Amino acid sequence: MKNYGRLTIPTDLDVIDQTIALKEKLGADAIRDCDGTEMPKEILDLDAKIYATYYTTRKDNDWALANPEEIQQEYLITNRYTARESSLTITLMKGFHTEQLKPNFIDNPHEWWEVIDRTTGEVVPTDKWTYSEENGTVTIETIPYHVYTVSFLAFLIWDPVHMYNFITNDWKDAPHQLTFDVRQPKTQVFVKEKLKKFCEDNPHVDVIRFTTFFHQFTLTFDDQKREKYVEWFGYSASVSPYILRKFEEWAGYKFRPEFIVDQGYHNSLFRVPSKEFKDFINFQQQEVCKLAKELVDIVHSYGKEAMMFLGDHWIGTEPYGPYFESIGLDAVVGSVGDGVTMRMISDIKGVKYTEGRLLPYFFPDVFCEGGDPIGEAHTNWLKARRAILRSPLDRIGYGGYLKLALEWPGFIDTITHVVDEFRNIHETIKGTSAYVSPFKVAILNCWGGCRRWMNNQVHHAIWYREIYSYVGIIECLSGMPIDLEFINFDDVKNGALDQFKVVINAGSAYTSWSGAENWIDEDVVTRIRAWVDNGGGFIGVGEPTAYQHQGQFFQLSDVLGVDKEVGFTLSHDKYNEVDPHHFLLEDIDGEIDFGEGMNGIYAHGENYQILNQYHGYARLVTNTFGQGRSIYFAGLPYSPQNCRLLLRAIYWAAGCEDEMKKYYVSNVNTEVAAFESVGQIAVINNTTEALSTDLYIKGQKVETLNLEPMELRWVSI
């Protein structure tokens, strides 16, 4: 059947007949439950795989309450407090939600907590502070007008995701679910036996969908039940004295809370990771993946498939880490919010298939008065589709409360089109890959391949307002015909540049994405200079190569042809003039969106060309350096036009302008993906408006296409 398969839909007890009807309408071959829903018995006899959402860390408060020392823990840090006298008392939970977190006084605070004088950076000796379990406070012998913090362990007495769902869905009667630590000895045995019993008691379940394994990403709420700190990549909630003692044996040195709380930055993805933090990540991945394999083996012993949700308790199972494949999972499923999150899932190796949950989730925060689930579905699909043509998911699906979607006029028709088009892509390309550039491009940052497609974002395509100018780079690249890799600075020093024609460095100064102190590493800068001098192409966005050192801010300002005014060279006159005639701008009509842009950028040297500037400062500059080329962008948020601008920039930086139109479309709101093995070209309209575009093959115009809104048109080569 043509319109059947590759689709998972949610169900619940109140939509049994509707589920059956929708399964037939959409051709779904799998049905799932969700957090807060149940699988109806009437569904079990349908011709469909049954997914069971499975929680290893919660949904058994009796066990957690009986074993309080094995409840999951998180490192927290208090606010900074100024001492005015020789003594200061700090209330630990001020600003945190006491229904979610509770200080751990079971394990000796003097062994596992840390008080730091933030004025000097020195650790306050344990004999200089005391704690009160009764009052939940720490009292410190202080130096007047120095600033102090306390880093402490706290039990997670309400699972963060359950708390999030509780608040988002306005649950009233659901009891708070505690979260227990599967890494701990007693709980580990309990969880394995519980999983075996679940498999035995549920012979109808085909796929155990682990949500996820053991450690929740950092999701901390404040005293008003608002999100206080969210780090989808955070390891703050993967700690306990039991785990940390094992780490100390493995690493050979004492663990400090500062390795996690990191001066209050909580080791966010934007921080340049310390050696100790990278060691801890490596240790956790080894241990988590080894234990996860044991649970997967249990599932397989009952003839069932094991699927991992890339979210919730996913810490330690990073899919691009060195140990992930050893888990032996059958599948990974994750939320698809755009092209980047789609590629984050679809590029995963070591599983039999990948599955994406398309947005919107069927939650009342979208399906409500003032909500626009159809518009969100359109936007989601337009971004995901262009990436699917480059690296297709094997399956798609939806999650949440099906009743909400069924009651929204026109929504089911919208996703019917999406599902049919997804299947059509697979049917047409027949497992082949789309044409990509005849050269390789690298994204250079501190994380490299271990955080592939994970740049600059919160999670699930939610990005930070302050960095959307950088998010656009990888969103554009997710659906472009570019052979792309992610590398770090160690890769540069180990000779990786030789395999690339273009390197992109994008981010804010001193972040992990720009590179911070890596740019004063003599080996790094000299290797990149030599590589560009011999014909490489370097693209910088925002504050690339940024580190104030030896009279310059951009350490590769000679390569880029630009530097940033930080107030030290105001007395130096700058004579910058615009010349917009360039290969990069041949397709571009009207204003370029640089996002928030970057103030204070000026060109210098002898080989630059300013293509765009604002109030006397440059926003788009090209430069030549020996035989190589560079391009500077002040910012590049995602838009169809900016995708085209980046495509032109990459080909120009590579010195391969003549090859850009092997497969090409003239309208910047359209893109093309050529599948040479099957003789088909996909031309996509990335807007909700009708438009026309000229199709080029091998540099020659072959026809003009008139496309409907959001249309995907197949053209034979």
Angle at 429 between CA 393 and CA 421, to 5 degrees: 65
Instruction: Provide the edge-to-edge strand list for the sheet that holds 663-665.
Output: 663-665, 691-697, 700-707
574 by Cβ neighbours in 10 Å (0-12 / 13-18 / 19+) ranks as middle
- Which tens digits make up the pLDDT trace of 471-480? 889 999 999 9
Beta strand 691-697 pairing with 663-665: antiparallel
Residue 132 neighbours by CB distance under 10 Å: 13
- Rounded Cα distance, 564 and 270, in Å: 21
- Rounded Cα distance, 513 and 539, in Å: 14
Please, what sign has the CA dihedral across residues 624, 625, 627, 632? negative
- Rounded Cα distance, 507 and 278, in Å: 21
Q: Dihedral (C-alpha) 23, 24, 27, 32: value to the nearest 10 degrees? A: 10
Beta strand 680-685 pairing with 353-358: unpaired
Angle at 263 between CA 217 and CA 92, to 5 degrees: 75
SS3 (DSSP) at 521: coil
Structure tokens at 126: 């344990």
Q: Domains, the chain, ranges and CATH?
A: 7-58+183-228+248-257+272-429 (3.20.20.80), 440-659 (3.40.50.880), 663-716 (2.60.40.1180)
338 CB-near residues (< 8 Å, 6+ apart) = 380, 383, 384, 387, 461, 475, 478, 638
Helices (H), 302-372: 339-346
Beta strand 81-82 pairing with 73-77: unpaired
DSSP for residue 322: T
CA 306 to each of CA 169, 297, 299, 310: distance values in angstroms, whole numbers, following the listed order: 28, 9, 6, 13
Residue numbers annotated as active site: 312
Residue 142 neighbours by CB distance under 10 Å: 23
Contact 630, 653 (CB under 8 A): yes
- Rounded Cα distance, 214 and 188, in Å: 10
End-to-end CA distance of the chain: 27
CA 260 to each of CA 102, 267, 509: distance values in angstroms, whole numbers, following the listed order: 18, 6, 22
Residue 589 neighbours by CB distance under 10 Å: 7
Backbone angles phi, psi at 294, to 5 degrees: -65, -40
Structure tokens at 702: 């072959």
Contact 30, 51 (CB under 8 A): yes
639-648 in b/e form (b: 16+ CB < 10 A) is bbbbbbbbbb
- Rounded Cα distance, 178 and 163, in Å: 10
Ranges assigned E (strand) in 232-358: 305-309, 331-336, 353-358
Contact 2, 425 (CB under 8 A): no
* Below-70 pLDDT ranges, the chain: 1-2, 455-463
Structure tokens at 94: 């001020």
DSSP for residue 626: T
Instruction: Give the CA radius of gyration of the chain.
Output: 27
Among 595, 464, 606, CA closest to 541: 595
170 by Cβ neighbours in 10 Å (0-12 / 13-18 / 19+) ranks as exposed
pLDDT score, position 1: 46
pLDDT score, position 172: 84
The DSSP annotation for 206-266 comes to -EEEES-SSB--EEEEBTTSSEEEEETT--TTSB-HHHHHHHHHHHSS---THHHHGGGTT
Helix (H) or strand (E) holding 472: helix 468-478
- Which tens digits make up the pLDDT trace of 339-381? 999 999 999 999 999 999 999 999 898 999 999 999 999 999 9
- Which tens digits make up the pLDDT trace of 89-99? 999 999 999 99
Residue 249 neighbours by CB distance under 10 Å: 9
Beta strand 395-397 pairing with 7-10: parallel
Structure tokens at 488: 């770090």
Count CA within 13 A, CB hemisphere, residue 451: 25
Left (φ > 0), alpha (ψ -120 to 50) or beta: where does 199 sit?
Answer: alpha
Indicate the residue type of 176.
H
Q: Give me the helix-helix angle, 275-301 and 185-201, nearest 10°.
A: 30
Beta bridge partners of 86: none
pLDDT score, position 457: 63
Q: Give me the helix-helix angle, 468-478 and 339-346, nearest 10°.
A: 50
